[in-house]
A and B are shown apart, each in its own frame.
Chain A
């Protein structure tokens, strides 16, 4: 029963959502939108579960003095501070339990929650994102090492695209006559991005789309049960 009921539910829900894409008539559209609402409601409850799990896991690590346990204190403290500030003085668009914290706003310029969000959280986020620049450089270095004919092709294409997107590319081939315009580096770069790259991406998308349909059918028909922990 523990497996059969979820399987039947998945099958019925899957079929309804699938056929409602083709049948606009009532009640199919309504059922689908209701199911989507249920998902949001369940997500809301699951969020509480997630937060409880976050506290439990981190508190356990602090209690048992796991390696680097001090970091977990920071996690718990940050979580508590944000919840507390949000609850007491609210956020930009919400009023907190103690009102809008007008006096605090006069001193720091915004509500405590928003202050931390703008001055700490967003900067931390930007810091993580900026790491990407360094990782792209190191990954590109490895990818562009000429070893095989394929990697040579990749290297040539990469150089052409990079040059084509800089002013150096325009400068190097700017002197070409009009009838050789297709060899102008920005045009070559545009061609590579527009045709071979797009074709490759679309091929992957078609394959993924088919895989997605096959995978969905396996789940709807109850052939695929791994997501329930079974075979």
Chain B
């Protein structure tokens, strides 16, 4: 009886193997540091419970990696993959097979199995980013070209940026009124380029404030920004020949909390009534609360951010707004240094090239040609 049962089970198992088809492929994940292997599996055959994926290397024991319930798919194994190691993968299709001895009793059995091997490798270049590299190089070359041109004495035209031209007006107004100037370098940390752009403008503003002997208030919401802003303001006062006028308490930390910071700054605006407010950096929902409080206090306000969703608020509530790239161009623009102005001109060339590529891309897509889109897409 026992023998018959075993034979029957074997027949069922072998027949299921004959009709089932399980395939597994393993390849090294391209454009990575060798920490991933891509596996593709496909199963067609009788109903199964799951597929179990195992892995081993150097002839060791198989360890289970994961299980799948989908009959086909793609999985990237990134679990402790070592560079240069060959991994042997095995996938088992598990099905519930009814016992002929006890009808209604099911046993879990491996009805199909497949193997694949792959060695993980680290790549020296991420080919997915070739378009980024090409455009980056074009931009780099155009910027360098104009920097060199500016160095050789070529006169470069840079359009006027009203928000920056108004800086003297703002400082002058604050001086005449005997009221302080308020500067906010955004609410993000130093790892955000907008904060750095804001701080570079702070240097120029602090220099003017020192020259005019006008008080400057710089509340910050990040400790890292505090140290940098303090150093920048101190250096500017030194450069203006007024180191004695520098008040270390003029640059101070309020809080890291977004709305706590807003409450603090609003309090300063209401109490100190600054004659000129500068909001230059990265802002979120606090932008309108700050700008509207400043507007209500009657201050002349200049704002600048690269956050598209906050720009309408600043445009509405402030007298001058630096839109996106103008914030990053501010330091170069204010310095009047030919080298820095040259870099701005280079950026404009880059913009023209991007515009051309965009229009070409649109035309190509309309014509059903998609290679440009594919080339520019980062996977």
CA of A211 to CA of B257 in the docked complex: distance in angstroms?
A: 28
Given contacts A71-B267, A136-B288, contact A205 B147 (CB under 8 A): no
Q: Check if B263 sits within 8 Å of A124, measured CB to CB.
A: yes
Q: Check if A207 sits within 8 Å of B351, measured CB to CB.
A: yes
Q: CB-CB < 8 A to B271: which residues of A?
A: 67-68
Q: CB-CB < 8 A to B125: which residues of A?
A: 22-23
A47 interface residue per 8 A CB criterion: yes
Q: Check if A229 sits within 8 Å of B33, measured CB to CB.
A: no
A206 interface residue per 8 A CB criterion: yes
B320 to chain A, nearest CB (A): 16
Given contacts A139-B313, A223-B343, contact A211 B147 (CB under 8 A): no
Counting chain A CB atoms within 10 Å of each CB, the highest count among B143, B260, B316 belongs to: B316
Q: Check if A49 sits within 8 Å of B226, measured CB to CB.
A: yes
Of the residues A26, A56, A139, A216, contact of B292 by C-beta under 8 Å: A139
Of the residues B200, B224, B343, contact of A46 by C-beta under 8 Å: B224
CA of A200 to CA of B308 in the docked complex: distance in angstroms?
A: 9
Chain B, range 106-134, C-beta contacts under 8 Å to A: 122-126, 129, 132-133
A213 interface residue per 8 A CB criterion: yes
Q: CB-CB < 8 A to A229: which residues of B?
A: 203, 231-232, 234-236, 238-239
Q: CB-CB < 8 A to B239: which residues of A?
A: 229-230
Q: Check if B306 sits within 8 Å of A211, measured CB to CB.
A: yes
A135 to chain B, nearest CB (A): 4
Q: Check if B328 sits within 8 Å of A226, measured CB to CB.
A: no
Cβ contacts A189-223/B at 8 Å (1 or 0 each): 00000000000110011111011111111110001
Given contacts A43-B189, A57-B252, A128-B289, contact A24 B126 (CB under 8 A): yes
A94 interface residue per 8 A CB criterion: no
A111 to chain B, nearest CB (A): 20
Q: Check if B328 sits within 8 Å of A214, measured CB to CB.
A: yes
CA of A143 to CA of B124 in the docked complex: distance in angstroms?
A: 53
Cβ contacts A130-169/B at 8 Å (1 or 0 each): 0110011011101100000000000000000000000000
- Interface contacts (Cβ under 8 Å), in number, total 207
B164 interface residue per 8 A CB criterion: no
A125 interface residue per 8 A CB criterion: yes
Q: Check if A213 sits within 8 Å of B139, measured CB to CB.
A: yes
Q: CB-CB < 8 A to A47: which residues of B?
A: 223
CA of A32 to CA of B315 in the docked complex: distance in angstroms?
A: 37
Given contacts A143-B316, A211-B306, A211-B329, contact A218 B252 (CB under 8 A): no
- Residue of B with least CB distance to A201: B308
* Chain A interface mostly: helix
Q: CB-CB < 8 A to A42: which residues of B?
A: 224
Q: Check if B350 sits within 8 Å of A210, measured CB to CB.
A: yes
Given contacts A125-B259, A210-B354, A229-B203, contact A23 B124 (CB under 8 A): yes
Q: CB-CB < 8 A to B234: which residues of A?
A: 229
Chain A, range 54-74, C-beta contacts under 8 Å to B: 54, 56-57, 60, 67-68, 71
CA of A224 to CA of B203 in the docked complex: distance in angstroms?
A: 12
A103 interface residue per 8 A CB criterion: no
CA of A29 to CA of B228 in the docked complex: distance in angstroms?
A: 27
- Residue of B with least CB distance to A53: B253
Chain B, range 210-262, C-beta contacts under 8 Å to A: 222-224, 226-228, 231-232, 234-236, 238-239, 249, 252-257, 259-260, 262
Chain A residue total in the interface (Cβ 8 A): 62
B186 interface residue per 8 A CB criterion: no
Given contacts A39-B191, A128-B259, A227-B203, contact A217 B343 (CB under 8 A): yes
Q: Check if A21 sits within 8 Å of B129, measured CB to CB.
A: yes
Q: CB-CB < 8 A to A67: which residues of B?
A: 271
Q: CB-CB < 8 A to B123: which residues of A?
A: 24-25
A50 interface residue per 8 A CB criterion: yes
Of the residues A49, A143, A215, contact of B227 by C-beta under 8 Å: A49
Q: CB-CB < 8 A to A53: which residues of B?
A: 223, 226, 252-253
A129 interface residue per 8 A CB criterion: yes
Given contacts A204-B311, A207-B324, A218-B332, contact A49 B223 (CB under 8 A): yes
B365 to chain A, nearest CB (A): 15
Q: CB-CB < 8 A to A136: which residues of B?
A: 288
Q: Check if A214 sits within 8 Å of B129, measured CB to CB.
A: no
A4 interface residue per 8 A CB criterion: no
Stretch at the interface among B1-9, B51-59, B175-183, B333-341: B333-341
Of the residues B34, B136, B256, B324, contact of A213 by C-beta under 8 Å: B136
Q: CB-CB < 8 A to A135: which residues of B?
A: 288-289, 292
A sample of 29 cross-chain residue pairs with beta-carbon separation below 8 angstroms, ordered by A number, consists of A22-B133, A24-B31, A50-B253, A51-B223, A56-B249, A124-B263, A125-B259, A125-B260, A142-B317, A143-B315, A201-B308, A201-B309, A204-B323, A206-B354, A208-B308, A210-B139, A210-B350, A211-B306, A211-B325, A212-B328, A214-B139, A214-B346, A215-B328, A226-B335, A227-B232, A229-B231, A229-B232, A229-B234, A229-B236
Closest 10 CB pairs of A and B: A229-B235, A50-B223, A211-B325, A211-B328, A208-B324, A208-B306, A46-B223, A226-B200, A128-B259, A50-B253
